[in-house]
Amino acid sequence: MTSLEGEVRHRIRDVADFPKAGVLFKDITPLLTDPILMGRVMDWMAQDCESVDRIVAIESRGFLFSTGLSERTGKPTAPARKAGKLPWKTVGTEYQLEYGTAKLELHVDALQAGERVLIVDDLLATGGTAEAAIDLVRQLGGTVLGCTFLIELGFLPGRERLAALGVPVRSLVTY
């Protein structure tokens, strides 16, 4: 375990039975109160931005990371949002949730064909939302170079699901 990983792990709070019974939620809000440590997290994530043209952030906590990355690297960011949240023309894709389906959307001009993209979010669990974001980038002609997460739930199949799509995954803290 790296020093950064240990410090971040120490700042992640476990919340039992949220949002429903039996779930142990990984709360990053204590981490957000430490601007120095968040800066180090941004530096760690920025390593993945060297060869990308654009950052796609998954709603909503992915936005917290993408804006810092954009500022640090000069790479533009595009939000992948839940259905109906973007105000202009969109492309969308439906994906499976534990109970039912959801839809993720990008503006049709969120990226240009041929752009190399990094997808960013706070947490990788089953990989369904990240897979939807990958699909959206590919619909618009982009290439996903990787996905970067603050936290990965290693006991769930997210990494394997994204690897099957040919997308590398990097996460700072794995549970």
Structural domain contains residue 80: yes
- List, for residues 85-137, the tens digit of each pLDDT value: 999 999 999 998 767 799 999 999 999 999 999 999 999 999 999 999 999 99
Structural domain contains residue 162: yes
What is the predicted pLDDT for the residue at 100?
Answer: 78
CATH code of 42's domain: 3.40.50.2020
Give all strands (DSSP E) within 9-134, no chain letters: 13-16, 24-27, 54-58, 77-82, 90-96, 101-107, 116-124
Contact 152, 8 (CB under 8 A): no
Structural domain contains residue 110: yes
Structural domain contains residue 1: no
Bridge-partner residues for 77, per DSSP? 55
Q: Where does residue 91 rank: exposed (0-12), middle (13-18), buried (19+ CB within 10 A)? A: middle
DSSP label at residue 140: T
| Structural domain span for residue 50 | 38-174
Structural domain contains residue 167: yes
Structural domain contains residue 10: no
What is the predicted pLDDT for the residue at 1?
Answer: 81
Structural domain contains residue 23: no
- List, for residues 31-70, the tens digit of each pLDDT value: 999 999 999 999 999 999 999 999 999 999 999 999 999 9
Report how many domains make up the chain: 1
The pTM assigned to this predicted structure is 0.96
Structural domain contains residue 26: no
